[in-house]
Structure 1
């Protein structure tokens, strides 16, 4: 079957009310949710209003447990290895700040790393005397696995990379990194913020020790939700930096026991409605099949890159051997913020990838802020044409 026919686009758009209102090409920021997600969230909020928050949560307990299992299915993991968090950064931080570092320890990361992660690296390095090192890119622009291998020694305490950078369509070679990390016995933390929901992720194939992702991006879930996978062998070595009565049990006036599952990285208070919405979003993605989603998203993005390259004055800036649904570009003589604003005025949603959020990457490539268009399986070729036509009008 042709990869563009794997997904019933008419059905996908009918299930997504926002498609009738806007050309949404900002799925790497926050995707349009399907109606089932919005309906799930609103239904639980109504139950809280009518029956009380505690009672509504108690009655929803089996469905909350099912969310964990759905996420586990998404990642080919076990439910005990899944934590549900209020955002991806919180999940990533929960693991990172639980890792022990000391003077001379080394943290290896990639040029594509996101600003929030780098700030955390720098803070811990400042506190502990550890050192942050940026692995080189190879000629294609992806992480150079040979340079990573050369840098490994007994002082490397962590390999932490972003799977898909926010500032481009690159897909870093996460599986190869996983093999290298596993062979060296070094913990491997994977930021899957932009890949979860558009790529078919398998933590056994990736061989990561921890993986974090948000609900709001390609998974099409509510804002304020996130998921975290933590492999048992890593959990056994960690004590979370923050514990509460959900993550640990107060066993004696002067003793406590930490939860053994990944729930050690959760807290008791949570947005139950949003978590149920996340579960609905994950189940919706699973119903389409992640391989089918990945094929359609990749094909649409490839066609958008090709079309933009044909527009005089437009440059596409995506790198890597493998690319995904994010397309970044510039228009000669037009700042990215202006292009973004003019597209928004025409009902086309995009985003801007800021140079200051990618200081290891964009300045080294001599690039300014970039316009970012990110496609999903419910987008159409007519919508891509709408963006290209609008950009063409600006480039003349």
Structure 2
């Protein structure tokens, strides 16, 4: 009997040790941005330890980043039974319901984690369909006013207020300049939140709602928005009235066509990227994931480096890449400190140090002789999601290309 107990104790200790090693391995995969490998490790751990709350949370988080919302919800609800009222779980569940446009449920969870302004905004959509479009909607093309330094399109807010909006996947929801929003009669909710912007600068964002946005002859109704001071920023003499960000684009099969100067919005339930790639020139499909509400992440490299994880943020004008100090140091990027200049983002001015890029790659697409900047990358972004983001890939990389973003298959279609 004693020998049997000793053997059971040894096996238990071996099991604990094995699980600990698996958790360590899974975390290492996750921190390095190898999410598929991390997911497999967490599944293995849960198979052995179904009540491992940390593994359940990480698995749900990875599935959320892969936009597999039903699976993510299932694992996170299991985790919530083990760790009830745990803020991290509530945050991820809020994000799931928000991405589904299930704003009633999302509001409950955002309120639970203290985001009252956002919760009030989402609750205001009760009995309304967010991002409502005509049932017969198929496709619309909106011509750019200009393409450089960033694409601008003309929009009409609430049926009569005309504005010039930039396209920027570094933004989340539709953003309106604060004064423009008030002129247009946007509803405003709660207290402003502090957010990080280029150069590590901070600014306050408020939550709001508009009745409609019109792009050409196409109208979208019932839209959540954010309010931010923007009109003080001028790009080639043009003031910014607003920003069309990733969350708005995710409601469609969206193409930012830099080559032809168009924004193309398609019904994502009737159009598919495989159909587009069949007719596209030199098309490549590149997988991506999403952290938070809009941080699209994909693998790439710079100057023949090892594979890195990049945030795809198209809103850095006339520039292809920026990165944190750790990437500059690791790759020995040649900053031209004698050519320091000033940049401006949503949070204000910051210093810029340019550098030359010999080659920048996103998946299997590579572009040579591009412009890089050290300075715009927000310091807090590098490790804020629990893994390292090595850089930010932007506007100049996509010139003369069309970037289609498919949030169903979680792939970019990039064509020439």
TM-score of the superposition, structure 2-length normalised? 0.27
Which structure has more relative contact order (CA 8 Å, sep 6+)? It is 1
* Greater strand fraction, Structure 1 or Structure 2: 2
Structure number with larger C-alpha Rg: 2
